[in-house]
């Protein structure tokens, strides 16, 4: 094999490469197939197989055999995961056995794994790195479920910011809702993100199963953007980032094609005039770049995944139908609807490109967002466009299981940002600043922070079913917002988000 070949569930079925399943289905993440406890896959002559699927038992195993002989075996954990498996030396059918197959409430079918993609590749180093990351992921999940306070594992989700500069505030005023000045003040003096930063992150990078960019800045401005993407690709690390789309020119698009990357392009309006209210007059070039990327990726295994990101605000509600028409025509993979994060000290109403922007008036309450949910779903479904609403994601029941800590973030995710180290997207203050690293390597510094006293206190409280002080300060926290006022120890906020703008999770 040259490099790698990826097949989504629908392609596997079309090509007749999969046997032992319940047929094609799809959800907001795309097409998938539920496979039986024993199913078969036809493999090309490749050394390794990367499978992406969800598994519903707490733990289990996946075994690969050919003609009854063991080829490889790997442990599984609950939830979505990507595992790397060794393949037999020659092309042909393999048997995949999943054990146990958990019973699923209200569905009597044999549901072993919910398979989304199969990727075949030859790179031994990538396989080893993925195996180590998966082993860390299993250990981390056990430590989370047991409510351990001091961890030996590393967080599987690594969040970084690859760029602190941005072309919009460099040429005009920052986007109306962006907390630009405050974040730049907090980032002052921190080192820029370079390709070598990935090595400096040491085990925190090697153990990560996915890397997300949370820049308050424009990632496509990083001079090593292409090299960084290539490194993620070679190391088998799925990557996601948000961009204003203005610099997604041919060179940048070429760097993205065929890579396991999720690109979120910020587009808050269906028209040039509407877009200008929040950003600038570059609506047409962004739409051109988006259209080109959606077209070009078709001949590159449909990668990267292209999402558009819209903040639901009072002033763009009337445009939603036109918005879904536009993105349907462009051919994006998904629309992500976010809510406006309001600062605890929002500026008074101000003008951008002649339009008045009033934070408080623009913000939709939690009740309004819930009323909007079926409207958005209908607009999307009637056009066959996939949509995901940020406020719904945090309400999925699998996020917090019976007897587990109230929230998984301080176990599973780490934000290594220029403005500091945070345990969560909604955290209002860093648990450590970058200038506290001193003579330690970044890896050593992060080890110390990840098991620091305050981190331990956060985990201990969450494991005991209480909201830690740190989380009670984070008024945007969806776990806090779900709790009854008496349980949370902080006054409820009816705003869509609380506190100050935080790094946003894709
Ligand atoms: C901070 S930007 C950085 C990436 C890139 N420069 C961009 O604008 O897409 C990341 C995302 O946060 C969103 N964002 C910025 N301020 C926000 C706020 N106050 N509330 C909600 N989302 C916000 C932007 O619209 C964008 O989609
Ligand atoms: S929202 Fe993004 S594009 Fe706008 S100023 Fe902030 S970082 Fe730049």
Determine the pLDDT at residue 348: 83
Q: Cα–Cα distances in Å, from 402 out to 211, 397, 412, 486? A: 28, 10, 18, 21
> Do 66 and 21 meet the contact criterion of CB atoms below 8 Å apart?
no
Q: Output the pTM of the full model.
A: 0.89
Residue among 166, 276, 311, 341 to mutate when testing ligand 2 (max atoms within 8 A of CB):
166
Give the CB-side neighbour count of residue 55, counting CA atoms within 13 A: 22
Of the pLDDT bands very low, low, confident and very high (cuts 50, 70, 90), residue 342 is confident
Determine the pLDDT at residue 492: 37
Is the Cβ atom of 221 under 6 angstroms away from ligand 2?
no
- Across the chain, mean pLDDT equals 91
Is the Cβ atom of 407 under 6 angstroms away from ligand 2?
no
- Closest residue to atom 1 of ligand 2, CA basis: 178
Q: Measure the CA–CA gap between 204 and 153, rounded to whole angstroms.
A: 10
Is the Cβ atom of 474 under 6 angstroms away from ligand 2?
no
Give the number of the atom of ligand 2 that is nearest the alpha carbon of residue 244. 3
Q: Measure the CA–CA gap between 356 and 337, rounded to whole angstroms.
A: 22
Among the bound ligands, name the one nearest to the CA of residue 170: 2
State both tokens at 425: 């997207």
Q: Measure the CA–CA gap between 267 and 356, rounded to whole angstroms.
A: 19
Is the Cβ atom of 417 under 6 angstroms away from ligand 1?
no
Distance, first Cα to last Cα, the chain: 32
Report which of 315, 309, 317, 312 is spatially closest to residue 290, judged by C-alpha positions. Answer: 309
Determine the pLDDT at residue 313: 97
State both tokens at 450: 């990840």
- DSSP H helical ranges for 346-477: 359-362, 366-381, 390-393, 409-412, 442-450, 453-463, 469-472
Q: Cα–Cα distances in Å, from 153 out to 124, 156, 473? A: 23, 9, 27
- Closest residue to atom 3 of ligand 2, CA basis: 244
pLDDT tops 50 at residue 502:
no
Residue pLDDT, tens place only, 124-175 = 999 999 999 999 999 999 999 999 999 999 999 999 999 999 999 999 999 9
- Helices 124-145 and 225-235 cross at an angle (nearest 10°) of 80
Q: Measure the CA–CA gap between 367 and 369, rounded to whole angstroms.
A: 5
Cβ neighbours, 10 Å, residue 474? 25
Largest CA distance in the chain: 72
Determine the pLDDT at residue 401: 59
Determine the pLDDT at residue 484: 67
- Ligand 1 midpoint to CA 87 (Å): 42
> Do 264 and 308 meet the contact criterion of CB atoms below 8 Å apart?
yes
Is the Cβ atom of 407 under 6 angstroms away from ligand 1?
no
pLDDT tops 80 at residue 300:
yes
Highest-scoring range by mean pLDDT, 241-245, 402-406, 469-473, 490-494: 241-245
Mean pLDDT of 293-318: 95
> Do 319 and 270 meet the contact criterion of CB atoms below 8 Å apart?
yes
Highest-scoring range by mean pLDDT, 300-314, 331-345, 351-365: 300-314
Residue among 176, 180, 343 to mutate when testing ligand 2 (max atoms within 8 A of CB):
180
Residue pLDDT, tens place only, 256-282 = 999 999 999 999 999 999 999 999 999
Residue among 161, 175, 283 to mutate when testing ligand 2 (max atoms within 8 A of CB):
175
| DSSP classification of residue 427 | -
State both tokens at 137: 């992921």
Residue pLDDT, tens place only, 12-36 = 999 999 999 999 998 767 789 999 9
Determine the pLDDT at residue 486: 65
- Ligand 2 midpoint to CA 20 (Å): 47
Mean pLDDT of 393-413: 73
- Ligand 2 midpoint to CA 159 (Å): 18
State both tokens at 445: 């510094």
Report which of 416, 436, 430, 506 is spatially closest to residue 474, judged by C-alpha positions. Answer: 430
Determine the pLDDT at residue 396: 46
Query: What are 328's strand-pairing partners?
Result: none
Q: Measure the CA–CA gap between 140 and 323, rounded to whole angstroms.
A: 41
pLDDT tops 50 at residue 364:
yes
- Ligand 2 midpoint to CA 179 (Å): 9
Is the Cβ atom of 309 under 6 angstroms away from ligand 2?
no
Mean pLDDT of 288-295: 98
> Do 304 and 297 meet the contact criterion of CB atoms below 8 Å apart?
yes
- Closest residue to atom 5 of ligand 2, CA basis: 174
Report which of 169, 199, 195, 204 is spatially closest to residue 184, judged by C-alpha positions. Answer: 169
Q: Measure the CA–CA gap between 391 and 442, rounded to whole angstroms.
A: 34
- Closest residue to atom 7 of ligand 2, CA basis: 217
Determine the pLDDT at residue 1: 54
Q: Measure the CA–CA gap between 255 and 498, rounded to whole angstroms.
A: 37
pLDDT tops 50 at residue 72:
yes
Q: Measure the CA–CA gap between 229 and 251, rounded to whole angstroms.
A: 13
Mean pLDDT of 423-432: 91
Of the pLDDT bands very low, low, confident and very high (cuts 50, 70, 90), residue 489 is low
389: helix, strand or coil: strand
pLDDT tops 70 at residue 81:
yes
Among the bound ligands, name the one nearest to the CA of residue 503: 1
Residue among 176, 179, 311, 418 to mutate when testing ligand 1 (max atoms within 8 A of CB):
311
State both tokens at 486: 């008496």
Mean pLDDT of 290-303: 94
Determine the pLDDT at residue 419: 95
């Amino acid at each position: 094999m040259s490099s790698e070949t990826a097949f989504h569930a629908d392609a596997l079925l079309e090509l007749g490469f999969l046997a032992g399943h319940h047929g094609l289905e799809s959800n907001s993440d795309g097409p998938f197939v539920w496979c039986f406890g024993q199913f078969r896959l036809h493999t090309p002559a490749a050394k390794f197989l990367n499978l992406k699927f969800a598994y519903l038992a707490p733990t289990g195993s996946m075994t690969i055999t050919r003609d009854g002989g063991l080829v490889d075996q790997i442990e599984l954990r609950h939830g979505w995961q990507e595992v790397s498996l060794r393949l037999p030396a020659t092309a042909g059918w393999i048997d995949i056995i999943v054990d146990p197959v958990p019973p699923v409430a209200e569905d009597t079918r044999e549901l072993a794994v919910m398979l989304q993609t199969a990727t075949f590749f030859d790179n031994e180093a990538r396989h080893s790195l993925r195996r180590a990351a998966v082993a860390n992921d299993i250990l981390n999940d056990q430590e989370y479920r047991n409510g351990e306070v001091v961890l030996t594992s590393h967080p599987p989700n690594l969040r970084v910011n690859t760029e602190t500069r941005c072309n919009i505030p460099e040429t005009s005023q920052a986007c109306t809702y962006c907390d630009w000045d405050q974040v730049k003040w907090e980032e002052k003096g921190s080192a820029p993100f370079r390709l070598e930063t990935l090595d400096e992150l040491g085990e925190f990078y090697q153990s990560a199963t996915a890397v997300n960019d949370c820049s308050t800045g424009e990632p496509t401005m990083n001079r090593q953007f292409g090299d960084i993407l290539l490194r993620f690709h070679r190391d088998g690390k799925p990557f996601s980032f948000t961009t204003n789309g203005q610099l997604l020119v041919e060179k940048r698009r070429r760097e993205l094609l065929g890579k396991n990357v999720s690109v979120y392009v910020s587009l808050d309006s269906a028209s040039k005039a509407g877009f200008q209210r929040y950003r600038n007059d570059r609506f047409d070039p962004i739409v051109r770049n988006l259209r080109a990327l959606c077209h070009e990726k078709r001949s590159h295994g449909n990668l990267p995944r292209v999402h558009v990101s819209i903040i639901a605000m009072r002033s763009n509600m009337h445009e939603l139908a036109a918005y879904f028409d536009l993105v349907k025509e462009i051919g994006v993979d998904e629309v992500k609807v976010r809510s406006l994060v309001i600062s605890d000290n929002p500026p008074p109403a101000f003008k951008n490109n002649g339009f008045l922007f009033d934070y408080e008036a623009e913000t939709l309450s939690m009740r309004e967002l819930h009323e909007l949910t079926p409207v958005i779903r209908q607009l999307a479904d009637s056009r066959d466009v996939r949509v995901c609403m940020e406020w719904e994601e945090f309400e999925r029941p699998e996020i917090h299981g019976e007897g587990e800590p109230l929230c998984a973030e301080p176990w599973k995710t780490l934000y290594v940002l220029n403005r500091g180290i945070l345990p969560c997207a909604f955290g209002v203050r860093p648990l450590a600043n970058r200038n506290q690293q001193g003579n330690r390597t970044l890896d050593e510094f992060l080890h110390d922070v990840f098991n620091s006293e305050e981190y331990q206190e956060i985990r201990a409280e969450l494991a005991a079913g209480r909201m830690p002080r740190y989380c009670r300060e984070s008024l945007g926290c969806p776990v806090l917002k779900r709790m009854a006022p008496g349980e949370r120890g902080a006054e409820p906020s009816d705003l869509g988000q609380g506190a100050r703008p935080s790094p946003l999770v894709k």
